[in-house]
Amino acid sequence: MLDLENLEHRAREHLSATMYDYFAGGADDEITLADNPLAWKRIRLVPRVLRDAAEVSAATEVLGTPMAMPILVGPWAFQGLAHPGGEPATAQGAAAAGAVMVVSTVATSSLEDVSRAAAGSPLWFQFYLLRERGMTAELLRRAEAAGYRAVVMTVDKLPVPGRRRRLAADRFSLPEGTQIANFGYTVPEDQDTGPDGYLRGLLDASVTLADLEWACAESRLPLVVKGILNPQDAVAAVEAGAAGIIVSNHGGRQLDGSIATADALPAVVDAVAGRVPVLVDGGVRSGTDAVKALAIGAAAVLVVRPVIWGLVVHGAPGVEAVLKELAAEMAHAMALCGVRRVGDVDRSLVWGMVGA
């Protein structure tokens, strides 16, 4: 068994205080950051007994991507600042665990290098809609050519980035020489630029549903919209052509005081009504949290911070260990709930939602 809370403490010892705050912190008073994991803890399961759950499988498929578990590595930027192996190490660890990695656009390794490191294991690619549409289209073409299975368009970092008090207090800036490989950019000497400062010059703050329609038409891969909390937005995104929805508040790093994703999930699932798969991230810290998400109606969950701590402490083997621990916890919870397959997990297992 791997103690994920202790792993974070160990990771903190490996990082400078400023770098830890960058990975761990959230927006403003960090209310949403704290509420994300608490919201999953508030949900109670209603296990079934006297069912044959001697053999449990967490295998599933989402948008044509086979998965050994419905737990994906969510996208996060600048992984080379967490460990010298960076994104390729995360990809290797995810592949070893049988998990799908969603690769960030703002990576310290190119999307092609990450794909090579994954050695055939399925990957998804996260992107933003850039002011220069040609750059966006080129990223989508590169992802397809490199063998990615789906693309994920993040929409909740617009129109402005979150106010990160921890980083402001630390005066955090990207270290000289930091690579933003997909844009061919290297942070120069004596440039006091934070991550959001660089992105602000690239992102289109005026994105609308019409732009989402353009991106869906431009991509030949299934396009998943990440950053939905309001069920009306979920319906609008599906009608604009989205192949999937990720319920997300950007890990509590954008609008502080926004709803926790566990609380937002039921209404989004109901509004989408099975037309496309709904995934969720934010505060998932255990395999039992994943079972709760599936019971509400999610097709899969995305996990970031526990993976960060695994990468910081042990590189690729640390990522693998975190994901395998989450998968083992999930299988254990499924067995105790009397379900053998992911498709058997339904709302009857969630207290207060029986028959919903």
By annotation, the residues acting in catalysis are: 250
Q: How far apart are the C-alpha atoms of 225 and 213, rounded to whole Å? A: 11
Q: Which two tokens stand for residue 74?
A: 């969510």
Beta strand spans in the chain (E)? 60-62, 65-67, 71-73, 101-103, 123-127, 150-154, 179-180, 185-186, 223-228, 244-247, 278-281, 300-303
Per DSSP, the three-state class of 60 is strand
Going by the DSSP 8-state scheme, the letter that residue 45 receives in this structure is B
Burial class of 210 by CB neighbour count within 10 A (0 to 12, 13 to 18, 19+): exposed
Q: How far apart are the C-alpha atoms of 335 and 287, rounded to whole Å? A: 12
- Under 8 Å between Cβ of 166 and 69: no
- Sign of the CA dihedral with 242 first, then 127, 122, and 96 last: negative
Amino acid at the residue 84: P
Q: How far apart are the C-alpha atoms of 118 and 121, rounded to whole Å? A: 5
Burial 333-351 (b: 16+ CB within 10 A, else e): bbbbbebbebebbebebbe
Q: Which two tokens stand for residue 82?
A: 């967490």
Contacts made by residues 237-240, CB under 8 angstroms, sequence distance 24+? 237/209, 237/212, 238/272, 238/275, 238/276, 240/209, 240/212, 240/213, 240/216
Q: Which two tokens stand for residue 95?
A: 């592949």
